[in-house]
Structure 1
């Protein structure tokens, strides 16, 4: 097999005009040889878990020493594929229980790519074992899980990079530098965000025996135990609120996080939402097929809208954000950005960067999101720099928590049919004891919720 994983310096040289060494350093990325000894573990070896670890291997000579997954078939496949890509060519130790993996290995970095209901418990256990984290979004399934992750990261000085990699997306970095930071939009007082993908699974499969290769009890963990009706992989689990927070928790978290980063926003002062299952009423899915949420700031509303049916408002921007200023409009997505001046001025358009020539192996990877691979590589480099140089990563856990919790609060607002004001200091919904109780979901017996307060 061709050795296609360039080291850090090859990455810099091959990036050419895409990202120069000086640009990397300007973004807090410095390079040392100490990471060559970094011991890495992966929890959740499905599609995106493997994709994340492959991007990491492409930009650093780390050692993936252990992998965990509750599906023994996926676990074996992940071990083989990782061994083919990493420098040592060693097959990682394979585990069905992440707790044993953490106990057996002194890991420097753990990547977590499990379903949302597992993120908090695994993140906290990994950090208390001594590891830094690459944690997929959303960081938690309830608000107080996120508070517990943030508290643990700060207590143990662990760097946590959240997989909201729009902050490391080349064309969106360019939009920030060339449009936002230069003030081309003028006064910004309205933002729209959307997702119109038909991504809501809505089947009605029959109950079935749990296959021998899947530990369904461990897959479920702290979540409610649904009757088994087929493999939860392939996003079937995302159609149930038992394991996630619907389309808002999955897709809004990306766009809202991007907008907050671009505009330097923190917690919304108030959140409201309406929606429900309006169209796709058949099947087992219990997540909303239609939702509108408003994240309020001073003289600025950020509005989210999703439909898993019908057509997009703008076919060129089916999953996107639009920032309106009095001097112009900025449209952005994972594929491009576009600045449209209100009057005279340059109409600016910049497309996604792919890096196909620098990383030809990307073209042969099943299910890879080619448009996201360059951003994930930069995200990994930024995390490694944060670990080496003791600075916060670009998608630090506090930022990931704000974006995640805001989306969860939007769902709670929709459920309660009233606006919510969250106080992150007191960790309550102001003047709303009923909503405050919903900030923490109950865990299944034998599993302990990580928030103590």
Structure 2
């Protein structure tokens, strides 16, 4: 390994702490010593909701005033964990209805960690209640929900940060700055993105009685009410199109958003996709186990492929993006990046940043994504800085909408069997009334679609 690579590796290991310190002292204010505690609430206390909240607790003084979840057992466990993590040791007030939480606690910040089919209503209601919002990706299950979320953020003049934290991932920030922005790739005219994880949950659990600690009606909300066949937490709900947009909406949104950020891309000109359930036809899952999509830009195609079976095309990059430029190739993932120049030149490699020494509690936290923790901390700091400075965050709701909606439209293209072009001004699929009708899903009553 060259001395150049060693120095870069040492640099990036300290980059996260440096960036965090800079953000903490924005406007001459040290958040840890002088900033008042912000009133924070979490809607959806499952795996990633708690993870996001714990990362926020690590970087800023907060008072977690309320938690909301329709699963009382999950809610009580989360409240106990929060009481152990926040400085006051106070246990947050627990709610089964997010509207009551917002009305009674009046939080400054709301973290939305609920399943995808709830993101729009939770976000918009929190904005209406006067809160800034950090919402997990994908921001919506249909395109018109996303449009309504952007409109609400602007109407109420609040900051909405989307949990596409690759934009705050230290080694990818470095790759953008020192590879792409420095011109080492040259013109990029082809991009490949992929996910080959065997992550499509499946099976045939029997229909059963809803347990008394779980409010299944509230959990389902505006989505279709499926026969109850067990707690939907973790990966079970993601295997149904009723609640999300499959692996395309879950995993492609991250990589497409990263590529768009790195290459400064907006809406694709045209989107096409093919795929379906080709291999694992058993079980109840109705999301595609195989799918390809093309997001077209001027003189650039961004191609996505996922398979929840078989082996990865590149075992080193099973969930990743690859930018092909005239001068070289950049491969990137949550774990590392590699730059390979064309012809002579030096290869550049960088690994993910960990902060186990600085945040030892990371090591003992159940189910934490250690590789993502530093990125989420920086993402939270960027969110707080945007609130204080009244600016747009790095993963502003509009950017999250473009990435989310593009993936949703890819699924619509797969369903209809034709390429689609979205007009964000007219909010329609160009020349395709049938596809335009599919931009808005029907809500289950009494819930009302925010795009209505």
Mapped pair 1:17 → 2:17: no
Runs of 4+ off more than 6 Å: none
- Deviation at residue 343 of structure 1 after TM alignment: 1.2
* CA deviation map 1:344-403 (0-9, x unaligned): 111000000011110111000111000000000000000000000111100000010000
What does residue 315 of structure 1 align with? Answer: 315
For 2:106 and 2:289, locate their aligned partners in 1 and report how far apart those are by CA, in whole Å: 43
What does residue 36 of structure 1 align with? Answer: 36
For 1:298 and 1:166, locate their aligned partners in 2 and report how far apart those are by CA, in whole Å: 24
What does residue 244 of structure 1 align with? Answer: 244
- What is the 5 A alignment of 1:57-72? 57-72=57-72
- Deviation at residue 234 of structure 1 after TM alignment: 1.8
* CA deviation map 1:91-116 (0-9, x unaligned): 00000010100111111000000000
What does residue 190 of structure 2 align with? Answer: 190
Change (3 A) 1:23 1:60: closer
**SS of corresponding position for 1:18:** helix
What does residue 116 of structure 1 align with? Answer: 116
What does residue 3 of structure 1 align with? Answer: none
- What is the 5 A alignment of 1:337-352? 337-352=337-352
| Length, aligned pairs only | 438
- What is the 5 A alignment of 1:411-430? 411-430=411-430
For 2:25 and 2:238, locate their aligned partners in 1 and report how far apart those are by CA, in whole Å: 35
- Name the TM-score, length of structure 2 as normaliser: 0.95
What does residue 269 of structure 1 align with? Answer: 269
For 2:20 and 2:70, locate their aligned partners in 1 and report how far apart those are by CA, in whole Å: 40
* CA deviation map 1:12-70 (0-9, x unaligned): xxx98223547864899554557423100000000100000000000011110000000
For 1:257 and 1:141, locate their aligned partners in 2 and report how far apart those are by CA, in whole Å: 16
Change (3 A) 1:146 1:189: same
- Deviation at residue 313 of structure 1 after TM alignment: 0.2
What does residue 164 of structure 1 align with? Answer: 164
* CA deviation map 1:413-432 (0-9, x unaligned): 00000000000000000000
**8 Å CA contact retained: 1:29, 1:382:** no
CA RMSD of aligned residues (A): 1.5
What does residue 177 of structure 2 align with? Answer: 177
**SS of corresponding position for 2:148:** helix
- What is the 5 A alignment of 1:283-432? 283-432=283-432
* CA deviation map 1:312-339 (0-9, x unaligned): 0000100000000010000000000000
For 1:144 and 1:383, locate their aligned partners in 2 and report how far apart those are by CA, in whole Å: 24
**SS of corresponding position for 1:394:** coil
**8 Å CA contact retained: 1:386, 1:392:** yes
**SS of corresponding position for 2:90:** coil
- Name the TM-score, length of structure 1 as normaliser: 0.95
Mapped pair 1:95 → 2:95: yes
Change (3 A) 1:20 1:355: closer
For 1:359 and 1:126, locate their aligned partners in 2 and report how far apart those are by CA, in whole Å: 30
